[in-house]
Amino acid sequence: MRLKLHTVLAFLCIAVSAHGQIDTNRPVRPMSLQEAIRLALENNLQLARVRYEPQLAQFRLGASYAYYEPVFDAFAEHRYSVREGQFNAAIGLTPSSQTDSDTFGGGLTGVLPFTGLRYAIDSAFNHVTGEAFSRGTVDDYSADVGIILRQPLLRDAWIDQQRLNIKLAKIDVKISENVVMLRVMEIVNAVQQSFYELLGALDAVKAREISVSLADRLLQENRKRVEVGTMAPLDEKQAESESALRRAELIQARSDVTRIENILKSLISNNYEQWHEVTIIPQEKLLAMPQTYDLQESWANGLALRPDYNEAKERLERQGIVVKYTRNQLFPALDLTGSYGRAGFDNREFISTNNIRDSSFSGTLNDIRDDNNPRYSYGVVLTVPLTFRAERARHKESKALLAQSKLDLQIVHQNVLIGIDDAMKAARAAYERAQATRAAREFAQEALDAEQKKLDNGRSTSFIVLQLQRDLTDARAQEIDALSDYNTALSALYFREGTILKKNNVQVEIDK
């Protein structure tokens, strides 16, 4: 609800020497409700903190996808081996042998999304040189390249731990966004309510100042009447008592302004020191603008827009995914395995007495390319826990938590409907109360004016006028409270039906 510009609040404080003036040395900050909301959304510390939640959830989601990134590994190794010669009775003395070998290779390992297929691609290249007893000079090259696959068919087939983590992380991102939206709505509602309370408190100060002014004026008039002998001294003392009482009420009203102003400052600022000495002057006015209500529409809005209800739905979906996973873990592990590879060999050969063919890695690569030494395998691996005790317990637990989440959603659903109904009735009652207190204040003003004229003509008493002044002061206070309550009730209704951001033209962009 848009409030009219409040242009006279700063000028309505009546100068009364007995109760002092506003400190003009303090800086004054005129502020509209829209500006207060904007400042809160920009500077509120609690909101700034909760805004990190979607970013953190997004980081966790991104990290969970790293499970599917291939892992590359490489190695290189040198080995040296010496074997001393030995005496063999059958063949005599065997010479010693000495070999050097260099091995290097690498590969990729990883898991495919959607199916959970595990793969490992590896390669190894080996070069051995030296003197061997059985062959003499050795200069051998060998290579091996292959792939190993393992595909789950039952357990971990359609969902596994990692896919569960990713699905849960995605929902956690949505939950964190609802947490931010709820906090934004709470901040806007809190700012509105504090703003209306500050308006009411300032109007209450004005009413108390008027009350003090009336009491002081009556006191001065009674003193003149006592001096001329037309009034008893007791009436002067009653007027003095009433004036002192009105000042005490004014002091309390100003204290309430300071307290409520600090609440508003805590909502709109992230540095209280800068706002400590600032006097906030709201630029709106407390009004009782009539509203139209549609309970069914408000219920529909609440169930569609309330972040806490949407969060409960997300948590129910989240637990449903956990149940799906624990159900899958009740199956035995039946995995299809397979491998395929090729090997290559090239070594030093003595072609004739004077010719020796040198070996190299090119020969091993030719073998691999020509598929001279293929190898493959396939099979199945069955793994069956004998009891499934842990799996059954976890599945039962997850189903119980799912049932609990359904009840949580029903509870939130019911609370949304009841809360909207209560808030709508409270707004209607507050509007009727505002209208009634307005009429009561007008009647009290008329009664006081009439009685004051009677007192001026000597046909009434100071006691009756004092009583009517009290009645007028109380009527003004009740009207101000009713106006403040009505506006805060509307804010609470808009919050409960989830339209408070739309009503205040607030658009939220969530950082990720």
Q: Which fold, 9-17+27-60+165-319+400-503?
A: Outer membrane efflux proteins (OEP) (1.20.1600)
Say what the pLDDT of residue 467 is: 83
Which pLDDT value is given to residue 428?
96
Looking at 229-306, list the stretches that DSSP marks H as alpha helix, in order from N- to C-terminal side: 233-268, 272-275, 295-305
The pLDDT, as a whole number, for residue 398 is: 97
Quick one: pLDDT at residue 326? Answer: 96
Distance CA 134, CA 223 (A): 136
Instruction: Measure the CA–CA gap between 245 and 238, rounded to whole angstroms.
Output: 11
- Cα–Cα distance measured from residue 105 to residue 73, given in angstroms and rounded to the nearest whole number: 8
Query: In sequence order, which ranges of 295-360 are alpha helices (DSSP H)?
Result: 295-305, 307-328
One-letter amino acid of 261: E
Q: Would the pLDDT of 240 be above 90?
A: no
Give pLDDT, residue 11: 27
Domain extent listing, the chain: 9-17+27-60+165-319+400-503, 72-158+332-385
Summarize pLDDT for 49-67 with one digit per residue, the tens. 999 999 999 999 999 999 9
Residue 456 CB partners (closer than 8 Å, separation 6+): none
Residue 80 has pLDDT above 50, yes or no: yes
Give DSSP secondary structure letters for 448-497. HHHHHHHHHTTSS-HHHHHHHHHHHHHHHHHHHHHHHHHHHHHHHHHHHT
**Lowest mean pLDDT, pick from 96-105, 109-118, 316-325, 335-344:** 96-105
* CA separation for the pair 208, 212 (Å, rounded): 6
In 3D, which of 121, 104, 124 has the Cα closest to residue 112? 121
- Distance, in Å, from the CA atom of 44 to the CA atom of 186, rounded to the nearest integer, reads 12
pLDDT tier for residue 229 given thresholds of 50, 70 and 90: confident
The pTM (predicted TM-score) of the whole model is: 0.80
Q: Residue range 305-313: average pLDDT? A: 96
CB atoms within 10 A of CB 388: 15
Q: Which residues pair with 31 in a beta bridge?
A: 282
Per-residue pLDDT band for 268 (boundaries 50, 70, 90) equals very high
Q: Which pLDDT score, from 0 to 100, does residue 9 have?
A: 27
- pLDDT value at position 10? 29
Q: Give the per-residue pLDDT at 465.
A: 79
Select the more confidently predicted residue: 91 or 252: 252
Identify the bridge partners of residue 87 per DSSP, sorted by sequence position: 93
- pLDDT band of residue 353 (cuts 50, 70, 90) is very low
Cα–Cα distance, 21 to 249 (Å, whole number): 15
Q: Are 222 and 469 in contact (CB under 8 A)?
A: no
pLDDT of residue 508: 86
Measured distance CA(25)–CA(315) in Å, rounded? 54
Between the ranges 18-27, 222-231, 490-499, where is the mean pLDDT highest? Answer: 490-499
CA 355 to chain centre: 80
Give me the pLDDT at residue 233, please. Answer: 82
pLDDT tier for residue 81 given thresholds of 50, 70 and 90: confident
